[in-house]
Amino acid sequence: MTKLPLQVKNYLFNNTQLFFLLFFLTALLARLYLRSSLLELDEAEQVIWAQQLLSGYPNQPPLYSWLQYCLFQVLGINLISLALLKYTLLLGCLYYYHLICRYYCPNKSLALSATAAWVLISSISMDLLKDNTHSILALLTACMTWYWFITPTKSINNWYIRLGIVIGLGFLSKFNYLIFLVIFLISTVIQKEYRLKLVNWRILITIACILIIIFPYGHWLMHHYQVGLYSTYKLTPQQKTLFDGFINLLGASIFFIMPVLISSYFFFPLAFSYKKTAATDLLLHYHFIYFPILALIILTAGIRNFEMRWLIPILFLSPLLLFSHLKPNSHLTSYTKRFLVFCLLVQLIFLVILSYRSYYGHNKRKSIPIIEIANSHKNNLEQIDSLMSDSHWLLGNMQLQFKSAQPYLYVINQALQSPSGHALILWEGETIPSWAEALIKQFKTNDIRWIKDKKNKKIVAGQALIHCNTQKSQTA
C-alpha cells in the first residue's frame, strides 16, 4: 500500500502534461459553471467579429477571430465555444513555456517550479483567465518563437520554414508581439551563435513564409488602416503625458517581475550558479535591453499610457532569470513541494476572486440586466431581427440571447446601415447617443425604454425598438 502513492507521485512528476490538463479542465469548468454567464468585453467582441471569416477585423490582427470562427461553425455561437478556444490556447502556452523551462533549468523540479511561477504573475494567472483573448495568442506565439529558435533541428531547411510560420502567426496574433520580436531579434544579433543563423541565405525562406502568411491581412490593413488600428487611441489619452507613459512602463515592469522573483527566492534558498551558454546569454541580454527599447518606443511614438498586461508576451520568461541559475541540492524536492502547494493556493484564490467579481463586482455593466432585457422581449413575443449598438459588450451579450438576429455595431464617423425588420437599439449611459437618436427619428418610434440600476435607481442604459422598412437606408 505504501508503494502505490509513491508510484503515483513519480508518474505525475514525470508526466507534467497531466498537471496542465487538470489546470485546463479546472479553468474551463470554472468559467462555465462558477462565473457569471455574462460575457466579458473581449468575449463579447468575438461574438460580433467571429461570425464572419474576413481578412481583417477592427482593433487587432485576425488570427484569434479566425480560430473562433472555426469553432463557432462546429459548436455554435455560445459560451462553450468561447471558453474552449481560450483555455485550449492557454494550455498551449503552458506546454511550450514548460518546454522552455526544461531547456533552461538544471532538472525537472526547477523546471516545474519555474512553470508554476507564472501563477505569481497576476497578468497571466488572473487577467488571461478573466477576459483577454488576443493576449493569450500573442503569448503562445512568443513562447513558440523562443522555443523553436533555441532548440536544434535535424533539418536546417525545416528550421527556417517553421520559424517563418510561427513568426507569421505571431504577426497575426496581437500587435505587441511585434515588440517582443524586435527585442528578441536584437538580442539574437548580439550573440555570434544566433547571429549566424540570421545572416544565412536560408533566412529568405523564413521571410517568404512570413509574407505568405500575413499577405491577406496586410493587404486588408493597407486599405482599412483606420479600422484595423482603431484601438491605438488607448496609447495616447489626452489627460496623460509622455512622462506618465514612462512611469507606467516602470511600474508595470516592477509589478510584473518582482513578485515572482522575490516569492520564488524565499521558497528556494539555493546557491546561485550562472552557466554561460548561448541560450542563457540570450535570456539575459533580452531582459537587459527590453526596458531601454520600450522606453525609446514610448518617447519616439509619443505613447502616454502603458498597461501591465501589454508586457505578457514580452516578460513571460522572467521567472527563468532565477530558476535557470539555481544550484540543486538535497532539499530541492521539499522546496519544490512547498512552492507548488503555494502556487496552487494562489491560483485557487484568483479563481475565487474572478468568480466573485463576475457576480458582485463594481463594474457598472453588472448593473445592466441583460437576461431580463432579453426575457422582456421574448415574453412579449417580440421578434428581434436585428441588434444595433455602439457597445461591443451590450451587442455581444444580446447576440447570445437572440442568436438569429443580425448584429450591427455603430462605429464613430462611419455610416450606419439600418436593416429591415424589427431592430432593437441598445446603448450605455443616461443620454441617447446621436446615432441612436437619428434612427429613432428616422423610423418615428416612441418605444424607448430606460434601464435603471436596481440598487440606486440611476439610469445605466437605454433601448428602443424600431420597425424598419424592407428597403435599407443609410444613416450617418
Q: Tell me what the mean pLDDT of segment 70-80 comes to.
A: 96
pLDDT at 11: 65
Cell digits for 318?
522572467
Residues with Cβ within 8 Å of 322's Cβ and at least 6 positions away in sequence, in order, are 114, 261, 264, 265, 268
CA distance 437 to 344: 51
pLDDT digits 0-9 by tens, 210-219: 999 999 999 9
DSSP state of 239: T
CA distance 319 to 399: 41
The average confidence (pLDDT) of the chain is 89
Q: What is 61-113 written as a DSSP string?
A: -SHHHHHHHHHHHHH-SSHHHHHHHHHHHHHHHHHHHHHHHHHHSSSHHHHHH
In which element (H, E) is residue 19 found? helix 17-29
pLDDT at 239: 85
Please state whether the predicted TM-score (pTM) of the whole model is above 0.85: yes
pLDDT over 70, % of the chain: 92
Residue 13 confidence class, pLDDT cut points 50, 70, 90? low
pLDDT at 183: 98
pLDDT at 473: 43
pLDDT at 474: 45
Contact, 316 vs 124, CB < 8 A?
yes
pLDDT at 467: 84
Cell digits for 276?
554561460
pLDDT at 253: 95
| pLDDT exceeds 90 at position 287 | yes
| pLDDT exceeds 80 at position 476 | no
Provide the b/e sequence for 58-88 (b: ≥16 CB within 10 Å).
bbbbbbbbbbbbebbeeeebebebbbbbbbe
pLDDT at 1: 39
pLDDT at 52: 93
Residue 414 confidence class, pLDDT cut points 50, 70, 90? low
pLDDT at 246: 92
| pLDDT exceeds 60 at position 266 | yes
Provide the b/e sequence for 193-212 (b: ≥16 CB within 10 Å).
ebeebeeeeeeebbeebbee
CA distance 352 to 126: 10
Residues with Cβ within 8 Å of 462's Cβ and at least 6 positions away in sequence, in order, are 426, 427, 429, 432, 436, 448, 449, 450, 451
Contact, 413 vs 226, CB < 8 A?
no
Residue 453 confidence class, pLDDT cut points 50, 70, 90? confident
Contact, 114 vs 323, CB < 8 A?
yes
CA distance 406 to 52: 12
pLDDT over 90, % of the chain: 61
pLDDT at 12: 63
Return the SS3 of 31. Answer: helix
pLDDT at 275: 83
**Around 145, how many Cα atoms within 13 Å sit in the side-chain half-sphere?**
29
pLDDT digits 0-9 by tens, 82-118: 999 999 999 999 999 999 999 999 999 999 999 999 9
Cell digits for 290?
527590453
CA dist 87 → 16, 93, 136, 175 (Å): 17, 10, 9, 21
Angle at 409 between CA 437 and CA 365, to 5 degrees: 80
CA distance 237 to 214: 30
Q: Tell me what the mean pLDDT of segment 134-146 comes to.
A: 97
CA distance 72 to 75: 5
Considering only residues 456 and 356, tell me which one the structure prediction assigns the higher pLDDT: 356
Provide the b/e sequence for 291-303 (b: ≥16 CB within 10 Å).
eeebbebbeeeeb
Query: If we measure between CA atoms, which residue out of 425, 423, 422 comes closest to residue 394?
Result: 425
pLDDT digits 0-9 by tens, 359-369: 876 666 678 88
CA distance 64 to 80: 16
